[in-house]
Amino acid sequence: MVNALSVDIEDYFHAEALSASAPRESWNRLESRVERNTKRVLELFSRADVRGTFFVLGWVAERHPGLVREIRDAGHEVACHSYWHRLIYRLTPDEFREDTRQAKGVIEDAIGEPIYGYRAPSFSVVQRSFWALEILAELGFRYDSSIFPIHHDLYGVPGYSRVPCIHTCTNGARILEFPLSTFRVGSLNFPVGGGGYLRIFPSFFTQYGFGRLNRREQIPVMVYFHPWEVDPGQPRMNVKAKSRFRHYTNLGSMERRVEGLIGRHHFAPIVKLPQYATLISEIGHP
């Protein structure tokens, strides 16, 4: 089974868990570590000879276009992670459209070619923001990876498909939705293989999830993480206990966990997954 390997390119202060202590107007004054951390991830992938999809924040692409080209030149897919890292369900459709158009423009300018994938900040495509998928299709995106079929205080569509599927919008447009990975026990979905779940849950839990999805269900796992998650030396911000737990737990062991995963399993960029590459290339929008 070939799984999807993805990285959300953002700095530590872009994370939603730190938003109360790092408002947008402060970003230019904070120490930026995204370039060095992304290069650390690129080196990790190079050693393992694996390729993935890098969802780049437009704010980062505008300030580090050379880094975006370096990602592309290393053989990875470049995709979009919004411009300002704002939760979609707190935006109007016009605000979301403008944010996405701006991000897509600066990323495509950096690499000189179109991009086709999108991931929402903090998986904020939820039931009340499904309208965002219609706008993504309108702007030329062919697939989205933003829906997490779990219960969570910030995101989640628990009843959504756990398997990649064609999402038909109210205007008839279609887009491939690649949900974040879960395995089902009874009536509950359990998240596996990404971000805080990969850092905080014990390794045997992750391996069990991979086995359930790859062998029993024949579903590829969507692995995701952020460059700041392999940076235990990042500045600590004064945030509430829950946010502190979510953001800082096990940063020191994350690189080793990712290295173990990419050494044990097969991975590819989303647009090159054997199960979905043809569908992504052929999907059309009215």
How far is it, in rounded angstroms, from Cα 105 to Cα 267?
A: 28
Cβ burial of 153 (10 Å; 0-12, 13-18, 19+) is: exposed
How far is it, in rounded angstroms, from Cα 115 to Cα 197?
A: 28
Per the document, the length of the chain is 286
Considering the chain, what percentage of its residues have pLDDT values greater than 70?
A: 99
pLDDT at residue 187 in the model: 87
Q: What residue type is assigned to position 36 of the chain?
A: R
For residue 222, which of 188, 195, 186 has the smallest C-alpha distance?
195
pTM of the model: 0.96
pLDDT 10s digits, 224-258:
999 999 999 999 999 999 999 999 999 999 999 99
234, 33 contact by CB (below 8 A): yes
**286, pLDDT greater than 50:** no
Q: Structure tokens of 9?
A: 């390119």
Question: To the nearest 10°, the Cα dihedral for 137, 159, 154, 199?
Answer: -100
**171, pLDDT greater than 90:** no
Domain boundaries, the chain: 2-282
How far is it, in rounded angstroms, from Cα 261 to Cα 13?
A: 26
pLDDT 10s digits, 38-91:
999 999 999 999 999 999 999 999 999 999 999 999 999 999 999 999 999 999
Considering the chain, what percentage of its residues have pLDDT values greater than 90?
A: 93
For residue 172, which of 134, 144, 145, 142 has the smallest C-alpha distance?
134
Could you report how far apart the first and last alpha carbons of the chain are, in Å?
Answer: 33
How far is it, in rounded angstroms, from Cα 136 to Cα 194?
A: 24
Domain 2-282: which CATH number of 3.40.50.80, 3.20.20.370, 3.40.50.1220, 3.30.70.360: 3.20.20.370
pLDDT at residue 284 in the model: 59
Q: What is the mean pLDDT of the chain?
A: 95
pLDDT at residue 281 in the model: 85
